[in-house]
Amino acid sequence: MLGLPSAAALLIGAAVGTVGEWGFFVDSAVAVALVLPVTIASHKLTAFWMRLGPFGTLLGVLVKVILRTLVIVGGGLAIYLSSPEFKTRGVSLWVWLIGVYLSTLAVELYWLVASTREGGNLTR
């Protein structure tokens, strides 16, 4: 379920890349590569901490936001500064990063709220 926003981003990036320039597809692929692994890892961590009760859920969400911010912004900045191709496209990489991050965050928060109502089962 967490991979749906990433798959959508890749499909949209491929569609825009075929109409415009392939750099947009590269931007979407980089965004997915930075966002998806840290999303899955932080989700697993939150699922583990949810077993500790409400404080564990809160701790998981806080650590998740900090971890994702460090990895996504830090990785995006490193890639953006190290490659002139990303600089020529302007803010395209950052738009993709923010879009993929927010869409995966929305899916995960929905999943988190729904699982809390069901007794904390995040294994769906």
Q: What is the pLDDT of residues 64-84, one digit of tens each?
A: 889 988 999 999 999 999 988
Q: How many domains does the chain have?
A: 1
Please report where in the chains the tokens 């997915």 appear, as a residue: 32
Please indicate, yes or no, if residue 15 is contained in any of the structural domains: yes
Please indicate, yes or no, if residue 87 is contained in any of the structural domains: yes
Q: 100: domain range?
A: 4-117
Please indicate, yes or no, if residue 123 is contained in any of the structural domains: no
Please indicate, yes or no, if residue 124 is contained in any of the structural domains: no
pLDDT of residue 75: 92
DSSP-derived letter for residue 90 is T
Q: Which residue has the higher pLDDT, 124 or 52?
A: 52
CA atoms within 13 A of residue 78's CA, in its CB half-sphere: 9
pLDDT digits (tens, 9 = 90+) for 8-26: 777 777 777 777 777 788 8
pLDDT digits (tens, 9 = 90+) for 95-106: 889 988 888 888
Please indicate, yes or no, if residue 86 is contained in any of the structural domains: yes
> Residue 101: which residues within 8 A CB-CB, separation 6 or more?
31, 35, 68, 72
Please indicate, yes or no, if residue 122 is contained in any of the structural domains: no
Which pTM value belongs to this model?
A: 0.77
Please indicate, yes or no, if residue 16 is contained in any of the structural domains: yes
